[in-house]
Structures are given as C-alpha cells and as structure tokens.
C-alpha cells in the first residue's frame, strides 16, 4: 500500500468527516481515478490525516493519506498529480501529490 503526502485546498475550510478510529486526526474521503464519479462503484475510500488539527475557515493543509482497501488503485496517484476528494459524488477538496511513500503497512 502507498501513502501519499499531499497539499489539500478546501473552498470553505476543512469539511471531511472523522474516520471513527482511535487516532484523533483520522478523517475519510472518497477518491475517483475517473473524476468526476458517475456512481458509487467508482469511489475508493481514503484515510486522510492532516499535519495539524483543522481550524475553522482554514483552506490549505498538508496531509498524509492512504487507501483503506488492499484492492484499491494504489498506483494511480503519482508525484505532481492533481486530484479531487469527494464525499459520495460531492467534491470537497482539491489536492496535489507532493510525495509517494511506497509499501506503507
């Protein structure tokens, strides 16, 4: 599994839901490598971990993210790629892959 170091931009500030894990800064979002998504079958769930606690109204964050499912398209994002994070079919943030860390367990 790959871990991605990314820069994220939100139009109205951080708006991702908590992942419900024991880690306080674990959030989740969907990714679609054929954006925009046409149905939920094209969506993959990611854990998103911002480098700092989200602040109301702050629009730019550095974060780490990784796919939750082993069968997810782990090799579809590369350094320099731009992407969109979704909740369902609603776009929530735009991102830029800064670095890919391979084989994170």
Q: Under a CB-based contact definition with an 8 Å cutoff, are residues 29 and 37 in contact?
A: no
Residue 42 has phi, psi (to 5 degrees) of -90, 0
Q: Is residue 4 part of a domain?
A: no
> Is residue 3 situated within a structural domain?
no
How many structural domains comprise the chain? Answer: 1
Instruction: Quick: pLDDT tens for 63-102.
Output: 999 998 988 888 889 999 999 999 988 899 999 999 999 7
Q: In 3D, which of 84, 78, 71 has the Cα closest to residue 97?
A: 78
Q: Strands 3-9, 90-101: parallel, antiparallel or unpaired by DSSP?
A: antiparallel
Query: What percent of the chain shows pLDDT beyond 70?
Result: 92
2 in any annotated domain: no
Judge whether 77 lies within some domain: yes
6 belongs to a structural domain: no
Q: So what's the pLDDT on residue 45?
A: 93
What whole-number percentage of the chain has pLDDT above 90? 62
7 belongs to a structural domain:
no
Instruction: Tell me whether residue 56 is in a domain.
Output: yes
**Range of 20's domain?**
13-101
Within the chain, where are the H helices? Answer: none
Question: What is the pLDDT averaged over residues 23-42?
Answer: 79
Q: Is residue 35 part of a domain?
A: yes
């Amino acid at each position: 599994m790959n871990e991605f170091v990314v820069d994220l931009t939100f139009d109205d500030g951080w708006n991702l839901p908590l992942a419900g894990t024991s880690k306080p800064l674990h959030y989740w979002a969907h990714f679609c490598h054929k954006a925009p998504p046409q149905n939920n079958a094209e969506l993959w769930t990611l854990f998103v971990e911002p480098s700092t606690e989200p602040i109301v109204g702050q629009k730019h964050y550095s974060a780490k993210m990784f796919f939750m499912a082993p069968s997810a398209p782990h090799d579809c994002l590369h350094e320099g790629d731009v992407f969109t994070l979704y909740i369902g079919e609603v776009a929530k943030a735009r991102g830029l892959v800064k670095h890919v860390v391979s084989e994170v367990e």
